[in-house]
């Protein structure tokens, strides 16, 4: 019994330090382990408590700590779900949660963690999916708030941007577990490691998708059927599963991916197995513990690439990678009006340089959430999202495969993904209602389709293509470099855009937004195409805004800053949504301010950088179109209007002093 207690204590400490603190960023002093709170639970000790407040260790704030709990867990090391020890923990959880006035509790064996409703004793789900891992403090807070309002609730619905069934932090924890296993495997290169990981994940998700679509055939082998206590049988089952999928029409796009996986685990006539059976079991167990993957709130391929790619590969990868939280907010702002599904008003969303599909997957999730909230998600709207709405084009075949897989993982919608050179392709009159993209920059080989200048710059050529592909009244969001907005050589091209479109908004993105991939200064340009009969410059003002903080340090390393205010809102993140201390879901700052914020007539707004230093500068507002004219080359740079450069002149006497000082130093060097 003593040995078990010691082992359990060690396991809990590892859970706290490696998962709760390191992976989920919960402050250590807000976590209390195995401490008696007699006023609440008498002599019984709750195994794990997490609060909004730090515990001082001397009971001076015991009441404050307990009354602001967000999570309580019973830990049973070395037990299985629903065995005798687990059921004992379940009884303790029911009793102690009432004493602690917590509407839910968690039972964990440090591998699987299940959330239970304290009133009904039944398992809690998040957006219809059982929660099987510890979550961020935001999710704890959200669950508590929802259950306080409805004590019998067992399925927590949320659409907050920063949350998902499997948070990115938890997914990264699983990738770290895989990285540990991979140390003993001689992968040819990082790309093979990445494809191997994605291939394994695709095997698991295919079963999820079949279940979601109601197509699972009990006569066929699936991921969950591969499990076996004997390692050789597990490997044989996986190989059988892969062979079946290779012949399935629904999985044909991923044939190359899983063929490489099959050779790695079973070998072929030329190769012995790359991975031994013990490691295959360990990998299978880690991937299995990721379930469910459906509805994951991030670019899964991007997360894997971030974990396993080298710095050089990341820079190459950056050519077609947009960070998820940018892809999400830009998609959300572009599709803001598409709230209800209307069978008689269908539309098409295109990314004509889709890379790994970040914009398309985020657009899919935005529309799915909108339809769920307005109760218009039915078989017809699902078919629309899965088969008719989304279109992706990329010149690289491997990118289209990645896009299809990312769409597949997010809930389908991969039907209309095409390998093609967008600038050469004949679209035969096809038009699109929405275009969202981060096109390549730099010199290309094809001239841009415009009479206002002669250039082969990719960013200009893609903008021209977007203008030709948009429906009249169609809208676009394009991530572009600063040159398009301010280079005097592009004056007439900017005038052409203002004549053909209504530029609605221009958002300045921080310089390091896409580091380490690139440090190119970029902007999100939002515009609506006008009728070709209207040829004069738009009359509406343009909303311009400068994003200074996006939740990551403004440096090459781009680590999360996670600074919060007293309401738990982000201090250094204008992009992401959040959950207040009351458990209420809140939109991100940019979304909240969208097209309405204006501080141009004041001395500016106060904001804080990643070091906690306060700044006061103008952030944005409506720029009257009269200010955009030939005198300034139709400059569209937000900084030009919001934070104009003011040279710091010095007095002549100060200049004389500087010169005298320099001459004196030069004279002393000669001596």
Distance CA 18, CA 36 (A): 24
348 vs 252, residue with greater confidence: 348
Distance CA 514, CA 331 (A): 17
Distance CA 437, CA 354 (A): 7
- pLDDT confidence band for 313 (50 / 70 / 90): low
**DSSP string for 442-470:** SB-SSPPS-SS----BHHHHHHHHHHHHE
Which whole number is the average pLDDT over 482-493?
94
Which whole number is the average pLDDT over 276-291?
91
- pLDDT at residue 1 tops 50: no
Asked if 235 contacts 265 with a C-beta cutoff of 8 angstroms, the reply is yes
- pLDDT at residue 320 tops 50: no
What pLDDT score does 609 carry? 80
- pLDDT at residue 234 tops 90: yes
Which whole number is the average pLDDT over 358-373?
90
What pLDDT score does 620 carry? 96
- pLDDT at residue 22 tops 60: yes
In the three-class reduction of DSSP (H, G, I as helix; E, B as strand; rest coil), residue 99 is classed as: helix
Name the one residue in this structure whose structure tokens are 């019994």. Answer: 1
What pLDDT score does 159 carry? 63
413 vs 187, residue with greater confidence: 187
In the three-class reduction of DSSP (H, G, I as helix; E, B as strand; rest coil), residue 253 is classed as: helix
- pLDDT confidence band for 162 (50 / 70 / 90): very low
Rg (CA), the chain: 28
Cis amide leading into 292 (omega within 30)? yes
- Angle (CA) 234-236-238 rounded to 5° is 70
Burial bucket for residue 204 (CB in 10 Å: 0-12, 13-18, 19+): buried
CA distances 403 to 237, 257, 295, 465, Å, are 28, 13, 15, 21
Which whole number is the average pLDDT over 376-397?
93
H helix runs in 31-83, sequence order: 38-41, 62-67
**DSSP string for 389-422:** SEEEEES-HHHHHHHHHHHHHHT---TEEEE--T
CA distances 600 to 191, 544, 547, 617, 619, Å, are 48, 10, 15, 10, 8
CA contacts within 13 A on the Cβ side of 448? 22
Distance CA 545, CA 183 (A): 46
Buried b / exposed e over 319-345, threshold 16 CB at 10 Å, is: bbbbbbbbbbbbbbbbbeebeebeeee
Distance CA 512, CA 210 (A): 40
Distant-in-sequence, close-in-space partners of 621: CB < 8 Å, separation ≥ 6: 543, 544, 597, 598, 599, 600, 601, 642
H or E element at residue 308: helix 300-308
- Angle (CA) 669-657-667 rounded to 5° is 15
168 vs 236, residue with greater confidence: 236
Distance CA 561, CA 549 (A): 10
Q: How far does Cα 466 stand from its chain's mean position? A: 25
What pLDDT score does 310 carry? 66
User: What percent of the chain has a predicted confidence (pLDDT) above 70?
Assistant: 87
- pLDDT confidence band for 45 (50 / 70 / 90): low
- Classify residue 606 as left (phi > 0), alpha (psi -120 to 50) or beta: beta
In the three-class reduction of DSSP (H, G, I as helix; E, B as strand; rest coil), residue 72 is classed as: strand
Note the pLDDT tens digit of each residue in 506-523: 999 998 777 666 678 999
Buried b / exposed e over 278-309, threshold 16 CB at 10 Å, is: ebbbbbbebbebbbbbbbbbbbbbbbbbbbbb
H or E element at residue 612: none
What pLDDT score does 345 carry? 95
H or E element at residue 484: helix 483-486
**Distance linking the first and last C-alpha atoms of the chain:** 83
Its sign, for the CA torsion 85, 91, 92, 97, is positive
Distant-in-sequence, close-in-space partners of 468: CB < 8 Å, separation ≥ 6: 449
- Angle (CA) 555-571-593 rounded to 5° is 105
User: What percent of the chain has a predicted confidence (pLDDT) above 90?
Assistant: 47
What pLDDT score does 576 carry? 83
405 vs 637, residue with greater confidence: 637
Structure tokens belonging to residue 534: 């209207």
Q: Indicate the DSSP class of residue 531.
A: P
Asked if 150 contacts 569 with a C-beta cutoff of 8 angstroms, the reply is no
**SS (HEC) of 100-168:** CCCCEEEEECCCCEEEEECCCCCECEECCEECCCCCCHHHHHHHHHHHHHCCCCCEECCCCCCCCCCCH
Which range has the worst mean pLDDT, 89-103, 124-138, 277-291, 618-632?
A: 124-138
- pLDDT at residue 41 tops 70: no
In the three-class reduction of DSSP (H, G, I as helix; E, B as strand; rest coil), residue 489 is classed as: helix
Structure tokens belonging to residue 345: 């008003």
Name the phi and psi angles at 122, rounded to 5: -95, 160
CA distances 560 to 45, 546, 555, 564, 653, Å, are 34, 20, 11, 12, 47
What pLDDT score does 7 carry? 47
What pLDDT score does 605 carry? 92
Name the one residue in this structure whose structure tokens are 């218009």. Answer: 376
- pLDDT at residue 554 tops 80: no
In the three-class reduction of DSSP (H, G, I as helix; E, B as strand; rest coil), residue 431 is classed as: coil
Name the one residue in this structure whose structure tokens are 């010169």. Answer: 659
CA contacts within 13 A on the Cβ side of 114? 18
- The residue count of the chain comes to 671
User: Mean pLDDT of all residues in the chain?
Assistant: 85
Note the pLDDT tens digit of each residue in 620-644: 999 999 999 999 999 999 999 999 8
Q: Of 153, 134, 162, 143, give the one whose Cα is nearest residue 102.
A: 143
Note the pLDDT tens digit of each residue in 182-222: 999 999 988 889 889 988 988 888 888 788 778 888 899 99
H helix runs in 487-611, sequence order: 491-500, 589-593
What pLDDT score does 305 carry? 73
- Angle (CA) 455-458-463 rounded to 5° is 90
- pLDDT at residue 250 tops 70: no
Distant-in-sequence, close-in-space partners of 23: CB < 8 Å, separation ≥ 6: 169, 170, 172, 173, 176
Asked if 469 contacts 432 with a C-beta cutoff of 8 angstroms, the reply is yes
């Amino acid at each position: 019994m003593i040995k078990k207690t010691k082992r359990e204590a060690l396991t809990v400490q590892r859970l706290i330090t490696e998962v709760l603190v390191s992976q989920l960023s919960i402050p250590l002093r807000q976590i209390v382990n195995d401490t008696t709170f007699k006023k609440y639970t008498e002599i019984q000790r709750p195994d794990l408590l997490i609060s909004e407040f730090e515990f001082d260790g001397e009971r001076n704030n015991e009441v404050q700590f307990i009354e602001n709990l967000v999570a309580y867990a019973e830990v049973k090391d070395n037990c299985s779900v629903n065995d005798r020890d687990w059921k004992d923990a379940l009884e303790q959880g029911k009793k102690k949660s009432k004493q602690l006035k917590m509407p839910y509790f968690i039972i964990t064996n440090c591998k699987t963690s299940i959330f239970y409703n304290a009133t009904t004793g039944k398992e809690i789900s998040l957006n219809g999916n059982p929660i099987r891992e510890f979550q961020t403090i935001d999710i704890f807070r959200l669950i508590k708030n929802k259950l306080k309002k409805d004590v019998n609730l067992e399925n927590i619905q949320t659409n907050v941007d920063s949350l998902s069934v499997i948070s990115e932090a938890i997914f990264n924890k699983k990738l770290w577990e895989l990285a540990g296993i991979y140390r003993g495997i001689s992968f040819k290169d990082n790309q093979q490691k990445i494809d191997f990981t994605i291939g394994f994940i695709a095997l698991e998700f295919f079963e999820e998708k079949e279940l979601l679509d109601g197509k699972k055939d009990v006569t066929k082998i699936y991921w969950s059927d591969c499990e076996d206590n004997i390692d050789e049988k597990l490997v044989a089952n996986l190989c059988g599963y892969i062979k079946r999928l290779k012949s399935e029409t629904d999985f044909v796009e991923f044939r190359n991916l899983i063929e490489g996986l099959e050779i790695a685990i079973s070998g072929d006539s030329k190769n012995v197995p790359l991975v031994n059976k013990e490691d295959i079991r360990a990998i299978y167990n880690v991937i299995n513990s990721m379930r469910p993957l459906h509805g994951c709130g991030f670019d899964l391929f991007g997360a894997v690439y971030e974990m396993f790619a080298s710095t050089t590969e990341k820079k190459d990868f950056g050519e077609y990678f947009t960070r998820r939280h940018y892809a999400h907010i830009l998609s959300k702002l572009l599709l803001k009006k598409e709230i209800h599904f209307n069978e008689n008003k269908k539309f098409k969303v295109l990314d004509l340089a889709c890379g790994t599909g970040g914009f398309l997957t985020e657009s899919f999730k935005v529309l799915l959430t909108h339809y769920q909230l307005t109760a218009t998600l039915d078989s017809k709207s699902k078919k629309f999202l899965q088969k008719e709405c989304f279109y992706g084009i990329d010149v690289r075949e491997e990118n289209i495969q990645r896009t299809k897989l990312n769409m597949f993982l997010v809930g389908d919608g991969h039907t209309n993904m095409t390998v093609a050179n967008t600038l050469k392709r004949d679209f035969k009159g096809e038009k699109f209602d929405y275009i969202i993209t981060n096109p390549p920059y730099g010199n290309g080989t094809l001239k841009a389709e415009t009479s206002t200048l002669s250039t082969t710059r990719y960013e200009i050529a893609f903008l021209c293509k977007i203008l030709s592909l948009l429906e009249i009244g169609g809208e676009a969001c394009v991530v572009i470099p600063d040159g398009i907005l301010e280079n005097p050589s592009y004056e007439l091209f900017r005038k052409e855009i203002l004549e053909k479109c209504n530029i609605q908004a221009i958002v300045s993105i921080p310089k390091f937004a896409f580091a380490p991939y690139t440090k190119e200064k970029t902007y999100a340009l939002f515009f609506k195409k006008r009728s070709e009969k209207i040829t004069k410059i738009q009359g509406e003002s343009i909303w311009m805004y400068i994003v200074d903080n996006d939740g990551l340090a403004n440096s090459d390393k781009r680590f999360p800053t996670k600074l919060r205010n007293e309401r738990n809102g982000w201090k250094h993140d204008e992009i992401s949504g959040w959950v207040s201390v009351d458990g209420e879901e809140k939109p991100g700052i940019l979304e909240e301010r969208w097209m309405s914020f204006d501080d141009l007539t004041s001395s500016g707004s106060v904001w804080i950088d990643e070091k906690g230093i306060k700044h006061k500068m103008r952030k944005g507002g409506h720029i009257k179109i009269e200010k955009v004219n030939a005198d300034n080359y139709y400059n569209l740079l937000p900084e030009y209007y919001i934070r104009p450069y003011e040279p710091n002149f010095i007095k002549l006497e100060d200049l004389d002093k500087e010169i005298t000082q320099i001459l004196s130093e030069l004279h002393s060097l000669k001596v």
